[in-house]
Homo-oligomer: A and B are copies of this chain.
């Protein structure tokens, strides 16, 4: 899935704007890394971006790719797909169901939904393959963490 040149340029401009706004340095590495994802709609992983950009910037270290991604994520220029997967979690409930996940503490709770059970796979998706599961993740902040957050207040630096 190649993206149009137009869309790629639009994303590149939005990245440069976001970087300027956030007071973040526009290094050669960052531009090339971003250029690489902005031109690829297939959700590449770190490794493949690293390999591709390294061809153009041989001394590139993979750490720079990771750092650039976390900057881009923080600046809301790109999103991590499947965020809550640092550690495998298991579910002994084999009934089809969905999850509410807290972004802060990672807590997971199950829920069922008739509305979702009746969901129809969109026409545009059908030619891509066969869907066997509709999985929904409601992401947000659990009541407990919301309490802590209001106490700690603006403690946002993640380091």
* A interface list, Cβ under 8 A from B: 1, 11, 34, 37-38, 40-47, 49, 69, 72-73, 76-82, 84-94, 99-100, 102, 107-113, 115-116, 119-122, 124-125, 127-146
A112 to B125, CA, bound (A): 9
Whole-angstrom distance from the CB of A101 to the nearest CB of chain B? 9
- Asked if B90 and A37 make an inter-chain contact with CB atoms under 8 angstroms apart, the answer reads yes
Q: A128-B100, A143-B127, A143-B129 are in contact. Are A43 and B89 (CB under 8 A)?
A: yes
Nearest chain B residue, comparing its CB with the CB of A85: B85
Q: A109-B1, A129-B141 are in contact. Are A89 and B82 (CB under 8 A)?
A: yes
- Identify which of B37, B73, B82 contacts A85 (C-beta below 8 A): B82
Q: A89-B80, A108-B81 are in contact. Are A136 and B136 (CB under 8 A)?
A: yes
Interface of A is mostly: mixed
- Identify which of B107, B120, B127, B130 contacts A42 (C-beta below 8 A): B107
Whole-angstrom distance from the CB of A144 to the nearest CB of chain B? 8
- Asked if A128 and B108 make an inter-chain contact with CB atoms under 8 angstroms apart, the answer reads no
Nearest chain B residue, comparing its CB with the CB of A39: B92
Which 5 residue pairs are nearest across A and B when measured between Cβ atoms? Answer: A85-B85, A129-B142, A131-B140, A81-B89, A133-B139
